[in-house]
């Protein structure tokens, strides 16, 4: 082989290699598509004044900068959730809790359907919820009520907020049923004591359920008819809790023993109880959040570590 032939052969080999590099592209390969960030849902159960514990839960999440993607509420849980989703901070809710009393949203009345009426909520809710409709909320919200005729759960996620929340708070025997869009509705605790299932249906990947498990009557016995009704529902809820627990990844049970249903004057203690419960559960929540973050970091690191060629 002559010297000229060797030069020609080398030039052809170099040209072939250059073409091969160019075909690989001059930019790095695309990074792998990561799964969407897991969505966190918070379900708040009922409990009258004891529901102020929910404010403590929200305080801790807010302080730890843990964002909530979806919320659902039953009874008092729906009031607090609606306010928070509308943009009211946990700190603001704490201030509101110091001032609110039973008379602010209920009045005693003579009726065949209940000994109280919650129509005062029509004035109370606009003061604590910054918007009028579900569509205007900053965080998607589900409000749970129960169809009085069929017994089926009813979940609201659109339209005006006020009446669905009133219905969710219509505790049987105490408050008269509330009519919404032709349906007679009562307290959501009969269908969703802790509304974890609606959060799953909304798309939540990880659900925190807050359950206020306290019997109405202690050893002293019942004081009046409402204690009898409340204790019966409390027993029933405890017996049926497996239904909502299956859709909750993390269950918080703030200690609300010894607090009466109308103990709004003990808001500081109730909020502190919610804070303690949420702080105790932070390691489990962080394990989930950081676990998903670690998986994403690992995928990105592997993508960055892959060698790639660039054209000269």
Q: Which residues are catalytic?
A: 75, 187
Q: Using CA atoms, how far apart are residues 201 and 157, in angstroms rounded to an integer?
A: 12
Q: Which residues in 34-94 belong to E strands, given as ranges?
A: 40-44, 70-74
Residue 269 gets which letter from DSSP?
A: H
Residue 138 gets which letter from DSSP?
A: S
226 sits in which H/E element: helix 225-239
Residue bearing tokens 């419960």:
277
Helix (H, G, I), strand (E, B) or coil at 146: strand
By the 10 Å C-beta count (0-12 exposed, 13-18 middle, 19+ buried), 161 is classed as buried
* 230 CB neighbour count, 10 Å cutoff: 20
Q: Which residues of 46-76 are buried (b: 16+ CB within 10 A; e: fewer)?
A: bbbbbbbbbbbbbbbbbeeebebbbbbbbbb
| Terminal-to-terminal C-alpha distance of the chain | 31
Give bridge partners of residue 74 from the DSSP assignment: 144
CA-based radius of gyration for the chain: 28
Angle, to 10 degrees, between the axis of helix 76-85 and the axis of helix 121-128?
40
Q: Considering only CA atoms, which of 273, 265, 251, 261 is closest in space to residue 231?
A: 261
At residue 194, what are phi and psi to the nearest 5 degrees? Answer: -130, 110
């Amino acid at each position: 082989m002559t010297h000229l032939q060797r030069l020609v052969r080398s030039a052809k080999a170099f040209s072939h290699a250059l073409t091969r590099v160019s075909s690989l592209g001059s930019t790095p390969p695309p990074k792998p598509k990561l799964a969407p960030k897991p969505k966190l849902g918070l379900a708040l159960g009922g409990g009258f004044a004891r529901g102020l514990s929910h404010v403590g839960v929200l305080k801790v999440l807010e302080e730890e900068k843990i964002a909530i993607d979806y919320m659902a509420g039953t009874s008092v849980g729906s009031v607090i959730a609606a306010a928070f989703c509308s943009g009211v901070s946990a700190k603001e809710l704490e201030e509101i809790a110091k001032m609110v009393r039973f008379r602010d949203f209920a009045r005693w009345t003579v009726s065949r359907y209940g000994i109280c009426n919650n129509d005062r909520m029509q004035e109370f809710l606009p003061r604590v919820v910054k918007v009028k409709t579900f569509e205007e909320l900053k965080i998607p919200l589900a409000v749970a009520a129960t169809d009085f005729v069929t017994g089926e759960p009813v979940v609201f996620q659109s339209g005006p907020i006020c009446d669905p929340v009133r219905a969710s708070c219509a505790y049987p025997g105490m408050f008269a049923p509330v009519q919404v869009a032709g349906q007679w509705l009562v307290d959501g605790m009969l269908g969703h004591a802790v509304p974890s299932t609606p959060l799953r249906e909304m798309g939540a990947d990880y659900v925190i359920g807050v359950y206020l498990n306290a019997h109405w009557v202690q050893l002293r016995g019942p004081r009046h008819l409402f204690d009898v009704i409340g204790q019966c529902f409390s027993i029933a809820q405890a017996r049926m809790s497996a239904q909502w627990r299956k859709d909750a990844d993390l269950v918080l049970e703030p200690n609300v023993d010894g607090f009466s249903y109308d103990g709004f004057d003990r808001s500081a203690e109730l909020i502190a109880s919610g804070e303690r419960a949420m702080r105790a559960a932070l390691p489990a929540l962080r394990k989930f959040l950081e676990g998903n973050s670690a998986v994403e970091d690992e995928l990105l690191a592997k993508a960055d570590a892959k060698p790639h060629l660039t054209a000269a």
